[in-house]
Chain A
Amino acid sequence: MATKKKTSAKKAPVKKAAVKKPAAKKDVKKKVTAKKLVAKKVTSKKAAVRNAAVKKPTAKRVVRPTAVIDTQRAVEQFLYRQSEILDTRQWQSFIDLFSADGVYWMPITQEQTEWEGSPSIFAEDKLMMEVRMRRVLHPQAWSQSPMWATNHLVSNVVIEKETAGEVQVRSRFHLMELRRDTVRHFGGTYRHTLVKSGAGYKIKLQRVDMFNSQAPYDYVLQIWV
C-alpha cells in the first residue's frame, strides 16, 4: 500500500512542491496522506490553468456557446435575487417578478400538471398574490406577530429548455424558517418558466414541489416559499 501511494505521489506533477514541505520523521503514513491532500489541491489548480491553455485550439468543438453560459448565469442571478427578495420581505418586489399573467403554484403531488382544476397548496395569480401581500402587511394579521424569519438557498440550477422568448429552469431549494423559537426546514424543486422581458426575465409560472408535500404540515406556510 505504502509503495502504491508513493508511486501515485510521484505521478503528481507538483511532487516537488509537496516534498518541500518539512515533514517530521514520526507518523510517516499520516504525513504521506496529508502530503497527498496538499498535492491534490495544487494539482487541480495547476491542471485547471493547463487545461484552459489546452482548450483553446479545440474551442470549435465546445457545444455550449457563450450565450448558453450567459443564460445559465442570468437565470441563476434571477433565482438568487428572488430568494433575497423573499428573505428581506419585499413582497411587492416578489409580485413584480411575475409577468401580468404570471402564476405561483405549489401542487400537492408531483403528478399534477395543471395549476387549475385540482387541489393545490398555493395556486395564485397576481391578484391573489396581492391579497396575500395585503394580508401579511395588515396590522391585524395575528399569526404574523410572532418572531419570524426565513433563509433560502437555491442550487442545482439546470436549464431544461430554452426558446427564443422562454427559458425553462429547474432548481432545488432549501428553506429554513424561524417561527417563535423553532426552526422548520423545507426543501424541494422549483420549476420556473421565465419569459424574456427587456434585459431580464419575468416569471410566467413558478411551480414549487415540496419534497414532503403529502406529509402532514406542522402549522402552515404564511408566505410564498
Chain B
Amino acid sequence: MLHEPIPNLKKLVEPDRVHRLAYTDPEIFELEIKNIFEKIWVYCGHESQVKKPGDYQTLTIGRQPMVMIRGKDMKVRVLYNRCPHRGVELCGALKGNAGEALTCSYHSWRFHLDGKIESIPLMKGYDGTRMNVDNPDCSMRAAARVDSYRGFVFASLSPDGPPLPEFLGEAKIAFDDMCDRAPEGEVEVVPYCHRVIQHSNWKFFMENQLDALHPSVTHQSTGVAAAWVEREIKQKTGEAPPLYYHYLSAFTMSFDKWDSVQTLNYPRGHGILKGYMGLRPDDPDTNAYVAKMYEAYGKEKAEKFLSRDIHHVLVYPYLSVQSPLQQIRVLRPIAPNKTLSEIWHFRLKGAPEAIYRRSLWYYNLVNSPATMINADDLENWTKGQWGLESSGMDWVSFHRDHGRDQENADGSIYSNSGTSEAVMRSQFKAWTEYLAGDK
C-alpha cells in the first residue's frame, strides 16, 4: 500500500498512532530526504567555525555533500562540494583552510573562495564550446539560500519556502537564549565535535528529546550511581558536590516530578521542554558570572535572560538545542535505520571560564562516545528500531494524554502533563504536512 504516491502517506499517521513503516520503509526515507531535508533550512555550522577567508567545514544536507566556506569578502557561503567539471569532491577534510583558491585534484580546475571559476588549464580547449568562464555551469553551485541567525548558519537547497526566521518560528528562542546568556551577546564554537552513529531512525532521537517519562527509567543506573557519589562527597567533605554530579543524578527524578515538567509544542514540529535541573546554584562561579551579566545588560534584563525556563529546544526535524548548557545536537539521517549525530559545544563570549568548564561536564558526560547517559538511549532506539522492523504489530502508540492537550489560537499546544505524548503527535502532524508537500 505504501508504494502508492503521496496521498496514502497520510494513512500512516492517525491522530493518536503512527504506522511503523514511517520509521523503516526505504521509500518513505527517500521521500523524507527529498521533501524535508533537501528543502528546509538545515543547520550547517556556526560562523566562528570558519573565521578566516578560506576556512571551511564540510557537511551533508540530505544526501548532498556541501561545504561551508568563508570568502575573501568575509561572507560565509554554502556550496556543493564537487567540481562542476566531473563531480570530484573539492574539500576533502572535515574542516580546513582552502588557501587562495579551491583546486580540483583531477584536472586542476580552480575556484575562487566564493565558488566562481578562477582558471582551467589549457582553456583554449573550450574555445567555441558552450562551456566557458561566463557559463554558471563552470562554477561551483551554491545552496539556493543561505542565512544565519545570531551566528548560526543555515542553508536551504530549495529556492522556495519560508525565510529562515519564519521556519525557526518559536524555536528561535534556542539561539536567543544561548546568546543572551553571554555577556557579549554571542557565542563561539568549540572546534571539536562528538560524532556518534545511532542505529535507529532519526525520529527516535527527536521524540526522545522531549520524552519526559523515559529518563528515570532509562538512566536509572547512572542517576543512582551519581547520587551515591554525591552523598559520599557531602558526608566526607561537608560541602555541596560539584554541579556535574547533579547533571547525572537529576535524571532519576520521580515520575511525578517529570510529569510536572511542561512541554510546549509549536507548528512545524518544534518544541520546548521546560527547565528542571536548576542550573543556577549560589556559588562563587555563578555569582561572578551573574555580576558580569548585570554589568553587560543591567539587572533587569540580565535577570530576564538568566531566568528563562528552558531545558531543550527542538528545531524539528533534526536539531536539539540545550541553550542553558550551550550545546546543540545535529542529526544527519543516513538511512531509515542509521543516523549520524554531531554534538557541538559553545563558549559564552565574555563569561568566566568556570561557566564554560561546568557546562563542559554535561557536554562530555551526556554526549561523548563514552557517555553514561546516551549509552542507554542508543540501546533503546536500536532495540526500538528492530521492533518496528518486525511485523509483530503495525502501530506505534502515542495515546498518552491524547485529547487532553491544550491547543492555543497561535497553533501552539501545551501539554498539561510533562509525560504527555503531545510532542510526538505534534511532530507527526508536521511530518505529514512536509511529506505531502504542504510545507
Given known pairs A143-B379, A217-B197, the reply for A120 and B364 (CB within 8 Å) is yes
- Determine if B370 and A138 form an interchain contact, defined as CB atoms under 8 angstroms apart: no
Q: Give the residue of B195, B224, B228 whose beta carbon is less than 8 angstroms from that of A216.
A: B195
CA distance A118 to B192 in the complex (A): 8
Given known pairs A138-B220, A221-B369, A222-B375, the reply for A108 and B340 (CB within 8 Å) is no
Provide the B219-253 mask, 1 if CB < 8 A to any CB of A, else 0: 01110111011001100000000000100100000
- Determine if B370 and A220 form an interchain contact, defined as CB atoms under 8 angstroms apart: yes
- Determine if B225 and A121 form an interchain contact, defined as CB atoms under 8 angstroms apart: no
- Determine if B233 and A127 form an interchain contact, defined as CB atoms under 8 angstroms apart: yes
- Determine if B228 and A220 form an interchain contact, defined as CB atoms under 8 angstroms apart: no
Provide the B345-377 mask, 1 if CB < 8 A to any CB of A, else 0: 100000001001100100110001111101110
Hey, which chain A residues are within 8 Å of B379, CB to CB?
Answer: 142-143
Q: Give the residue of B220, B368, B371, B372 whose beta carbon is less than 8 angstroms from that of A119.
A: B368
- Determine if B360 and A119 form an interchain contact, defined as CB atoms under 8 angstroms apart: yes
Residue of B nearest to A142 (CB): B376
Hey, which chain B residues are within 8 Å of A112, CB to CB?
Answer: 192
Hey, which chain A residues are within 8 Å of B245, CB to CB?
Answer: 131
Check if A141 is an interface residue, CB within 8 A of chain B.
yes
Hey, which chain B residues are within 8 Å of A222, CB to CB?
Answer: 370, 375
Distance in angstroms from A137 CB to nearest chain B CB is 8
CA distance A110 to B177 in the complex (A): 33
Residue of A nearest to B233 (CB): A127
Given known pairs A106-B370, A122-B368, A143-B376, the reply for A138 and B221 (CB within 8 Å) is yes
Residue of A nearest to B199 (CB): A219
Check if A218 is an interface residue, CB within 8 A of chain B.
yes
Give the interface residue-count category, chain A: 35 or more
- Determine if B229 and A109 form an interchain contact, defined as CB atoms under 8 angstroms apart: no
- Determine if A135 and B370 form an interchain contact, defined as CB atoms under 8 angstroms apart: no
Distance in angstroms from B196 CB to nearest chain A CB is 5
Check if B190 is an interface residue, CB within 8 A of chain A.
yes
Residue of A nearest to B341 (CB): A216
Hey, which chain A residues are within 8 Å of B226, CB to CB?
Answer: 131
Hey, which chain B residues are within 8 Å of A138, CB to CB?
Answer: 220-221, 224-225
Check if B101 is an interface residue, CB within 8 A of chain A.
no
Interface centre among A117, A119, A141, A216, by most chain B C-beta atoms within 10 angstroms, is A119
Hey, which chain B residues are within 8 Å of A109, CB to CB?
Answer: 192
Residue of B nearest to A139 (CB): B221
Q: Give the residue of B340, B345, B357, B382 whose beta carbon is less than 8 angstroms from that of A116.
A: B357
Residue of A nearest to B356 (CB): A117
Check if B213 is an interface residue, CB within 8 A of chain A.
no
Given known pairs A131-B226, A135-B221, the reply for A121 and B368 (CB within 8 Å) is yes
Given known pairs A108-B194, A142-B380, the reply for A134 and B224 (CB within 8 Å) is yes
Hey, which chain B residues are within 8 Å of A8, CB to CB?
Answer: none
CA distance A98 to B196 in the complex (A): 29
CA distance A156 to B205 in the complex (A): 41
Hey, which chain A residues are within 8 Å of B190, CB to CB?
Answer: 118-119
Given known pairs A118-B192, A217-B195, the reply for A140 and B221 (CB within 8 Å) is yes
Check if A12 is an interface residue, CB within 8 A of chain B.
no
- Determine if A214 and B220 form an interchain contact, defined as CB atoms under 8 angstroms apart: no
- Determine if A131 and B195 form an interchain contact, defined as CB atoms under 8 angstroms apart: no
Distance in angstroms from B410 CB to nearest chain A CB is 38
Check if A215 is an interface residue, CB within 8 A of chain B.
yes
CA distance A149 to B190 in the complex (A): 35
Given known pairs A108-B194, A218-B197, the reply for A135 and B94 (CB within 8 Å) is no
Provide the A94-118 mask, 1 if CB < 8 A to any CB of B, else 0: 0000000000001011001000111
- Determine if B195 and A119 form an interchain contact, defined as CB atoms under 8 angstroms apart: no
Check if A36 is an interface residue, CB within 8 A of chain B.
no
Provide the A17-39 mask, 1 if CB < 8 A to any CB of B, else 0: 00000000000000000000000
Check if B291 is an interface residue, CB within 8 A of chain A.
no
Interface centre among A123, A133, A141, by most chain B C-beta atoms within 10 angstroms, is A141
- Determine if B248 and A131 form an interchain contact, defined as CB atoms under 8 angstroms apart: yes
CA distance A123 to B357 in the complex (A): 12
Residue of A nearest to B369 (CB): A217
Check if B388 is an interface residue, CB within 8 A of chain A.
no
Which 3 A-B residue pairings sit nearest by Cβ, starting from the closest? A134-B225, A217-B369, A138-B221
Residues of B bordering A, CB below 8 Å: 94, 190, 192-197, 199, 218, 220-222, 224-226, 228-229, 232-233, 245, 248, 340, 345, 353, 356-357, 360, 363-364, 368-372, 374-376, 378-380, 382
24 intermolecular pairs with C-beta atoms under 8 Å apart: A108-B192, A117-B357, A121-B369, A122-B370, A127-B233, A130-B225, A131-B226, A131-B229, A131-B372, A135-B372, A140-B220, A143-B375, A143-B376, A143-B378, A215-B195, A216-B197, A219-B196, A219-B197, A219-B378, A220-B368, A220-B369, A220-B370, A222-B370, A222-B375
Residues of A bordering B, CB below 8 Å: 106, 108-109, 112, 116-123, 127-128, 130-136, 138-144, 214-222
